[in-house]
Amino acid sequence: MTISSLTKKTVRVAETQDAPSVDLDVAEASYASFLRAFSIDLTREDLRETPRRAAAAMREFLTPEPFELTTFPNDQRYEDLVITAGIRFSTLCEHHVLPFYGHACVAYCPGERLVGLSKLARTVQFVARRLQVQERMTTEIADVLENALKPRGIAVLVEAEHTCMSIRGVEAPGATTRTSVLRGAFRSSDELRREFFDAARS
């Protein structure tokens, strides 16, 4: 079977509402006021552009890039696990607006359609581009793929280090948090669950 014999189908993955426009001028002025509140001298040459750079960085962190999630018919009736591990991401914790970062492992048991493998990583990166909490992020990754693929099962494992815990507060560097979502066949099959978690940890 060649690619030309496949019928591609794309699902546009985007925010449910139109993304609000970003006013960089307002953001830059707000950063300047914020830094001055901490007695930071923005007249220094090396700090003069800091509010502008900070505003641009925040726009990058908080602007998900819509993409086309391409799927193909599962003509060969492939039924076993499809898994992509080690998908790196970084995002911002919505409680302290500090980064948390790590990697995700995403797997599915195909139904009628297969997905282009790069789209699994794109889904993780898309969901990460907003203020997040890890539990919701894990669920949202599963939601996007489940809606697009209608698989027999979907599994997502996210492991991350939260700088709001590692560099402030309790100051526990190296501590990581794991969250997982298991649906469909991954809930009903002990064997599939073991295979998924073994692959995620390897």
Active site residues: 93-96, 134, 162, 164
Cα first-last separation, the chain = 32
The phi and psi torsions of 71 (rounded to 5 degrees) equal -125, 160
Chain CA centroid to CA 62, Å: 12
C-alpha distances out from residue 48 to 14, 27, 36, 38, Å: 35, 15, 12, 15
Side chain identity, residue 113? R
Residue with tokens 């079977």: 1
The phi and psi torsions of 194 (rounded to 5 degrees) equal -60, -45
Q: Which tokens sit at 169?
A: 């507060």
Residues belonging to the chain: 202
**DSSP one-letter code for 51:** H
Quote the CA–CA distance of 171 and 56 in Å, as a whole number. Answer: 28
Q: CB of 55 within 8 A of CB of 28?
A: yes
